[in-house]
């Protein structure tokens, strides 16, 4: 049906061009809000009526006459009807809708995907500092980032996945101190163990049992390896730098295990410390100063971010009096290395950059973008794009789960996967808009019924595979069979939904909206179940049987493709 729609769109453009030179460029079809109104619609007549000074209803009549005379409309269209002030509704012949079945079976895994567009996009996500296991919020970010990467790949982009983290600074110093105290035999609750985050005279230490595990392995002289680093412990509790490096490598390894359980891979790990050691942070600051976009006040360096729409100017470099240099704290505020980091992204050739972050990062967006403009390196306004997500509540047995034995203070991603499955966690965390609150119901995620959305969709795929297995024929021949028996309302509704898949992918990519894929898959599964209930597939009539098998095989293929975008499996048996 995609080829049919392309033919009809060209015919509509030609008809519009006849009415007004240049109007053909605006040819577009919409999906009617109600199925009873037809299969395609266009508002072109109403849009042209004013500039042509013609009554829109009359112009719609004129356009209709031109359209029905086009060869594509003669071949593929049953009726062209005018409604209201000038809406044009188009009803397709069954043969037009049936074409999508052949297209799906011929394109297979590539159905819905576009060819290489020559463009590159960098997606930065998860980016958790190595101070503890990944929590459920990181899981939502991992699911979002990976699915958005997959969506962009379907649109022909060359996608680069990046994980950015701080391997130095105050948090890492606190991690090292916590590990050293554990290695010395101390534990949370002891007098030497700061636990009050409201006390400005001390830093809260990390209390999870995983700190004791790190300390024990450090004392044992073990070697830990992660995707981006490796380190062997000295076992010397006075080796503070060794403890720091071992703890970072240990937790990066733990995060890798979390990501492996979630089937998420990265192309690169970028260290915040490298921005300082390479001079990129200092260079960014000098660029802003040279552009006259900074000033000194109260011993601090400020960015004139209000010049770029921010609600107030922002501190770039804190005064010496407010910086604890002994703890490893940087004098620069949070957004300054971010500016340097995004200049590095730009210089690496990424004209399109998407950051997946928690909503607590909302305040940094304006200042990072302001800093990038102030640096005057040619970066366009609005760079980078941001997708912000809320945290996730976890409910089990009707009660909220707030802590984990592994982390001590929150539910980890691996906990959630172990309680349910990788597929359930991914599908559930992607089933709502990123910026909406979400409650993950563990009991629902393991339920084997239609209330469980991932089970409902996967069951539809497995159900089709069962039918195809019972048939036992050569599936390759289904792409060539006679599809004319597919003329029932249920079959046509299912085919129309299959035809919407490519457009849905394009819109979901443009809007950073993988939740649209989950909605579509649930709708497609429901349409298939309705079709299955309405028509028996393995009938005696060979022509009818093969046509129906082709339709359900195409449906299974689209379910498989959509689930793959989400990083969810498409089981053949359940």
Query: What six digits make up the tokens of 66?
Result: 């031109």
Final residue in a domain of this structure, among 389, 406, 423: 389
Q: Is residue 252 part of a domain?
A: no
Q: Is residue 222 part of a domain?
A: no
Residue 202, pLDDT > 50, answer no
Which residues have C-beta within 8 Å of that of residue 326, sequence separation ≥ 6?
A: none
Distance CA(147)–CA(429), nearest Å, equals 11
Same domain, 371 and 283: yes
Structural domain boundaries enclosing 85: 2-92
Quick one: pLDDT at residue 37?
84
- How large is the average pLDDT for residues 388-411? 84
Q: Is residue 184 part of a domain?
A: no
Same domain, 458 and 385: no
Number of domains into which the chain is organized: 3
- CATH code for position 525: 1.10.730.10
Please report where in the chains the tokens 């966690």 appear, as a residue. Answer: 425
Q: Give residue-wise pLDDT tens across range 39-84.
A: 899 999 999 988 988 999 999 999 999 999 999 999 999 999 999 9
Distance CA(151)–CA(153), nearest Å, equals 5
Least confident of 121-130, 188-197, 358-367, 368-377: 188-197
Residue 408, pLDDT > 90, answer no
Residue 196, pLDDT > 60, answer no
- CATH code for position 341: 3.40.50.620
Same domain, 455 and 561: yes
Q: Is residue 245 part of a domain?
A: no
Q: Is residue 355 part of a domain?
A: yes
Final residue in a domain of this structure, among 92, 107, 136: 92
Final residue in a domain of this structure, among 43, 71, 92: 92
Q: Is residue 518 part of a domain?
A: yes
Same domain, 459 and 539: yes
Q: Is residue 286 part of a domain?
A: yes
Residue 509, pLDDT > 60, answer yes
Q: Is residue 438 part of a domain?
A: no
End-to-end CA distance of the chain: 32
- CATH code for position 39: 3.30.1360.70
């Amino acid at each position: 049906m995609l080829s049919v729609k392309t033919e009809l769109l060209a015919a509509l453009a030609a008809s519009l061009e006849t009415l007004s030179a240049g109007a053909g460029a605006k040819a577009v079809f919409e999906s009617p809000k109600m199925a009873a109104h037809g299969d395609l619609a266009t508002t072109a007549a109403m849009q042209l009526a004013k500039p042509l000074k013609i009554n829109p209803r009359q112009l719609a009549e004129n356009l209709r006459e031109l359209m029905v005379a086009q060869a594509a409309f003669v071949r593929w269209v049953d009726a062209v009807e005018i409604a209201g002030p000038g809406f044009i509704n188009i009803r397709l012949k069954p043969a037009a809708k049936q074409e999508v079945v052949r297209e799906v079976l011929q394109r297979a895994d590539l159905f819905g995907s576009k060819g290489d567009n020559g463009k590159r996009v960098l997606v930065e996500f998860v980016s958790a500092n190595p101070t503890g296991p990944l929590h459920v919020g990181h899981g939502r970010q991992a699911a979002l980032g990976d699915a958005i990467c997959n969506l962009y790949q379907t649109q022909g982009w060359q996608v680069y996945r990046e994980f950015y983290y701080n391997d130095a600074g105050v948090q890492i110093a606190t991690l090292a101190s916590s590990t050293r105290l554990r290695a010395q035999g101390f534990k949370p609750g002891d007098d030497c163990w700061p636990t009050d985050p409201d006390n400005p005279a001390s830093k809260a230490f990390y209390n999870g049992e995983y700190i004791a595990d790190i300390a024990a392995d450090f004392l044992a002289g073990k070697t830990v390896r992660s995707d981006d680093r490796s380190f062997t412990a000295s076992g010397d509790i006075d080796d503070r730098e060794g403890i720091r490096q071992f703890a970072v490598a240990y937790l990066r390894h733990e995060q890798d295990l979390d990501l492996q359980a979630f089937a998420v891979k990265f192309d690169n790990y970028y260290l915040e410390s490298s921005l300082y050691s390479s001079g990129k942070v200092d260079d960014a600051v000098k660029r802003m100063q040279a552009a006259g976009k900074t000033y000194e006040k109260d011993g601090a360096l400020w960015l004139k971010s209000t010049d770029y729409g921010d609600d107030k100017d922002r501190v770039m470099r804190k005064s010496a009096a407010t910086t604890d240099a002994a703890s490893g704290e940087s004098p620069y505020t949070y957004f300054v290395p971010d500016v340097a980091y995004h200049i590095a992204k730009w210089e690496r050739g990424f004209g399109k950059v998407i950051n997946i972050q928690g909503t607590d990062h909302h305040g940094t967006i304006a200042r990072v973008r302001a800093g990038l403009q102030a640096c005057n390196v040619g970066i366009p306004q609005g760079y980078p794009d941001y997708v912000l997500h809320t945290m996730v509540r976890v409910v089990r047995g009707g009660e909220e789960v707030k802590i984990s034995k592994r982390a001590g203070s929150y539910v980890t991603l691996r906990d959630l996967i172990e309680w349910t499955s990788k597929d359930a966690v991914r599908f559930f965390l992607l089933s709502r808009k990123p910026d909406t609150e979400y409650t993950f119901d563990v009991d629902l995620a393991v339920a084997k019924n239609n209330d469980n959305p991932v089970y409902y969709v996967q069951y539809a795929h497995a159900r089709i595979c069962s039918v195809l297995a019972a048939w036992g024929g050569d599936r390759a021949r289904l792409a060539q069979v006679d599809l004319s028996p597919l003329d029932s309302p249920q079959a046509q509704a299912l085919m129309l939904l299959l035809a919407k898949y490519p457009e849905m992918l394009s819109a979901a990519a443009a809007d950073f909206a993988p939740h649209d894929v989950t909605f579509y898959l649930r709708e497609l599964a429901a349409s298939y179940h309705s079709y299955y209930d309405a028509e028996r597939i393995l009938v005696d009539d060979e022509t009818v049987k093969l046509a129906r098998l082709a339709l359900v095989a195409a449906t299974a293929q689209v379910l498989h493709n959509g689930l793959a975008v989400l990083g969810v499996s498409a089981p053949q048996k359940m």
